[in-house]
Each structure stands twice: as C-alpha cells, then as structure tokens.
Amino acid sequence: MNALDILKERGLFGQCSDEPGLKKLFASEKVVFYIGFDVTAESLHIGHLVPIMAMANLQRAGHIPIVLLGGGTTLIGDPSGKSKERPLLSLEEIRKNGEKLLVQFKKFLSFERGKGMLLNNADWLSSVKYVDFLRDIGKHFRVNEMIKHEGYRLRLERKGGLSFLEFNYQLLQAYDFLTLLQKNNCQLQLGGDDQWGNILAGVSLVKKIKGKKVFAVTLPLVEAVGGRKMGKTEAGTIWLDSKRTLPYTFYQYWINTDDRDVIRFLKLFTFLGIAEIKELAKLKGRELKKAKQVLAFEMTKIIHGEKEAEKAETASKAAFTKEGGDFSELPTAFVSGKEISAGISILDLLMKAKAVSSRNEAFRLVSQGGIYVDKKRVANQNFVIKMDSFKNGALLLRKGKKQYYRVVIK
C-alpha cells in the first residue's frame, strides 16, 4: 500500500497540501519527514500518540522519520491552542526533558542505521543572529496574513493578548522546515490540525527561498466519544512514564474505552493488522469487551512491555471477578498500623489512596454511593475503617464501577 493510504486507512490523516503529489512522492522514493515536539515535560502522554503512531506507520512503510525536539522553540512556546503564554523553561530543563523523551520515542521508532533521526532545533536556532534572521527570513512573511492564523487570532481576542515573543513562533517553525530540507532532504512535515497554518508557512518559505516543492499533512485531533480530550481523566493526565501513571492505571484507561471508540482506537493506536481489527469489529454487545481487552493489552505492551501488560491484565481480571486474585499490580497506598488501630475515616483513606483529588470530591462520591470497601458500598461520610476491615493486611477500595485501589498496612 502507498504510505498515504496507510495513514488514511488507520484514521491518521486530516489535510494535505497536495495529496496527488505526495502520493506520487511516496511511491517513488524513501521520503524523509518530520514532526516537531515541544520539550515542556519529562514524559509524553497519550495525547502525543497520534503523531507518534503516524511516524511509526510511515517508518514501517519504508520512509525516514525525524523526531524534532523543540529545544529552541520551547524557549518561546507555541501559542496555538493555548489561552495564555506558556511558562518558559531553562536550557538545562529542556535538555534533561529531551533525554527522557528519547527513551519513550524508542518504544515506537528505530533510530539505527539511518532508519530515523532525533534532532534538536536548538542546534541551529541558538546560533541565529536576530538581524540576519529578520532580513533573510522575516522579509518573506506578511503580518496581515499571519494574524489570520487561528492560533494568533484567538489569542489576540483574549485579555492577555499575544506577546511579540510568541508572534515569532511561526517564523521559527517555518525556518525549521527550511533547515531540515537543506540538511536532511526533508520533504514533508506532519502535525496536528491546529498546526496547519504553521506548516503551510514552512511550505511557502521553502518555495520562496529554494524554489522547491515540499508537502504538509495534518493529523486529526482525536477526541473520545463525548468530546473528552485524549489522555485527560478526572484523575489527571495519562502519562507514558510508569512513575507518573502506573501500568495498571494505563491499562484501565484503555479497557474503559467507550464501545463506540474501541475499533477506531485499535486502528489509531496499535500495530494490529487491519484484517484482525475488522474481525474484532464484528463483536457486538458484551462480546465487545474482548476488543477492549485487546486494545488495553496491546497499548500497555507497547509502552510498558509484555510482562507489565500481563500483570495489569491479571490484576484487572482479579478486580472484576468474584473469585478475586492477585491485586498486587493495582495502584497501592500504604498506611501505618498505628493509623488503622486508631481508625481512619473513609474520606482520609480515599485521599491517601489518591483515588480523589480533594476531600470535597471524596465527600461527594460517598454521598452519591460511589465508594466501596471490599465490594460493600459505603454511604456514610463519617464511616471509620479499622483493623478488622483488612484481610491479610490489605483492603480493596472501589471508586465507581471500574476504578480499584489497594490499601496495605506497612
């Protein structure tokens, strides 16, 4: 299959600057392409998976990805989709973040023997001379066109406005594309739908300076049914780093996928063949749970390895069966024997288990009958848990229908 058809088949395609031209290019040579990633955190989260999976599928089709870490542009911050200016990081913070992100990219992409590259735009942006940049690059941009870009327009309408620092972001991203073409023969940039204006600016800059045609592709901004943003839950962001999000919690996120999303997510986020996914799509009703189990296992295996996926699957099955089983992989909180002997309120225990973000949330959940201790509903906010509630030094908390937590006496 043509690489462009693969992206479409898996739902990893939004807009293209020249679809017939790009399809022809994919058919004729190994295409070097890139996606830029800000280096604002020590870990990626599952909201990053759409661009990463697009890169992985194109690499598997024989093309060459460049993961471009925004060591330089992160110093400024992309205003697209942001209601206010981002906090600025130091060069040292950005460097440390980049080292940790590389480990996660390697779970999806190969950087060996010219199959892929990891670059940092700080390598060229940090040496740019401002006056030279304005003369050589800035002259190709028109302010009246730039402010039509949705990211700029929305910020200009807000009280805080748009800083001149951020206004430069589009120029720098376009300059990245030009630099990657010159240094690495990169002919394609991919990014989220909200990056369309920035990517086209790069396409235009390359055309004006080098007289060469390059291409732009955007990827859909994926939301779960109901408009829920990918990776965002009541409990917070779902990170790829196991220290921030436990493998079990990661597994549970995927197994709790809405029935209407599961087949779409199998196409987007796993490497399963389309034929196998089509077979899973035949499942209906309660049988669709099998497809969710496949999704959760495959995602956890990619990020945390097969052993951790098996542990998470075992713990999940144990939590949802009457027989019980090995709960050791559940999110676990430790309490002292002294605390339990004195008695600990259900609200405090929920806070210790990090099952809630505040006592108000704990109070509300108990009042609504959404909290269970060892499968028995607790409806009294003043309920006190003592030693006799523990079996073999542990008890099981349940929040709602599907979220389990383990509390152990240390």
CA atoms within 13 A on the CB side of 305: 6
What pLDDT, on a 0 to 100 scale, did the predictor assign at position 131?
74
278 and 371 assigned to the same domain: no
Q: 49-53, 87-91, 198-202, 287-291: which range is least confident on average? A: 87-91
147 and 189 assigned to the same domain: yes
306-327: average pLDDT: 76
Identified catalytic residue from 23, 136, 140, 194: 194
pLDDT in tens, 329-372: 778 888 888 888 888 999 999 988 888 888 898 899 999 889 99
Is 60 exceeded by the pLDDT of residue 79? no
Is 80 exceeded by the pLDDT of residue 148? no
170 and 261 assigned to the same domain: no
Contact 73, 172 (CB under 8 A): yes
Domain boundary among 155, 189, 221: 221
Residue 235 phi/psi, 5-degree rounding, is -85, -5
65-93: average pLDDT: 70
Active site residue 410: no
Active site residue 86: yes
What pLDDT, on a 0 to 100 scale, did the predictor assign at position 76?
63
250 and 108 assigned to the same domain: no
What percent of the chain is predicted at pLDDT more than 90? 47
Identified catalytic residue from 15, 40, 332, 381: 40
Identified catalytic residue from 82, 106, 213, 352: 82
pLDDT in tens, 229-253: 776 665 578 999 999 998 988 998 9
| 178 token code pair | 């030009």
Query: Across 156-160, 398-402, 404-408, which has the greatest mean pLDDT?
Result: 404-408
147-166: average pLDDT: 65
Q: Which amino acid, one-letter code, is at 279? A: E
Q: 327 in a domain, yes or no?
A: no
Q: 326 in a domain, yes or no?
A: no
- Cβ-in-10-Å burial (0-12, 13-18, 19+) of 80 comes to buried
Residue 256 belongs to a domain with what CATH number? 1.10.240.10
How many domains does the chain fold into?
A: 3
Task: For 149-282, list the strands marked E by DSSP.
Answer: 186-192, 215-219, 223-224, 228-229, 232-233, 236-237
Contacts of 98 (CB under 8 A, 6+ apart): 39, 69, 71, 120
Is 70 exceeded by the pLDDT of residue 155? no
* Number of helices and strands in the chain (H, E): 19, 16
Identified catalytic residue from 229, 278, 391, 402: 229
Identified catalytic residue from 182, 233, 293, 332: 233
- CA 389 → CA 271, 348, 407, 409, distances in Å? 44, 15, 11, 11
Contact 50, 192 (CB under 8 A): yes
Is 70 exceeded by the pLDDT of residue 375? yes
Active site residue 282: no
Contact 390, 340 (CB under 8 A): yes
Distance of alpha carbon 115 from alpha carbon 137, whole angstroms: 31
CA-closest candidate to residue 397, choices 350, 348, 341, 328: 350
Do the bridges between strand 186-192 and strand 394-399 make them parallel or antiparallel, or are there none, so unpaired? unpaired
| 5 token code pair | 């058809």
77 and 150 assigned to the same domain: yes
What percent of the chain is predicted at pLDDT more than 70? 87
Is 70 exceeded by the pLDDT of residue 184? yes
Active site residue 233: yes
Q: 243 in a domain, yes or no?
A: yes
Is 90 exceeded by the pLDDT of residue 305? yes
Distance of alpha carbon 250 from alpha carbon 257, whole angstroms: 12
Active site residue 48: yes
Active site residue 304: no
Q: What share of the chain is helix, strand, coil (3-state, %, to 5)?
A: 50, 15, 35
Identified catalytic residue from 140, 208, 232, 359: 232
Identified catalytic residue from 86, 100, 106, 140: 86
Residue 163 belongs to a domain with what CATH number? 3.40.50.620
Identified catalytic residue from 10, 48, 301, 398: 48
Active site residue 82: yes
Q: What domain range includes position 293?
A: 228-319
What pLDDT, on a 0 to 100 scale, did the predictor assign at position 323?
45
73 and 127 assigned to the same domain: yes
Contact 396, 386 (CB under 8 A): no
103 and 148 assigned to the same domain: yes
Active site residue 368: no
What pLDDT, on a 0 to 100 scale, did the predictor assign at position 107?
95
Q: What is the overall mean pLDDT for the chain?
A: 87
Q: 81-90, 306-315, 380-389, 393-402: which range is least confident on average? A: 81-90
141 and 184 assigned to the same domain: yes
- CA 56 → CA 43, 53, 113, distances in Å? 18, 5, 16
What pLDDT, on a 0 to 100 scale, did the predictor assign at position 139?
82
198-225: average pLDDT: 92
> Residue 82 — very low, low, confident or very high, per pLDDT cuts 50/70/90?
very low
> Residue 180 — very low, low, confident or very high, per pLDDT cuts 50/70/90?
very high
178-194: average pLDDT: 95
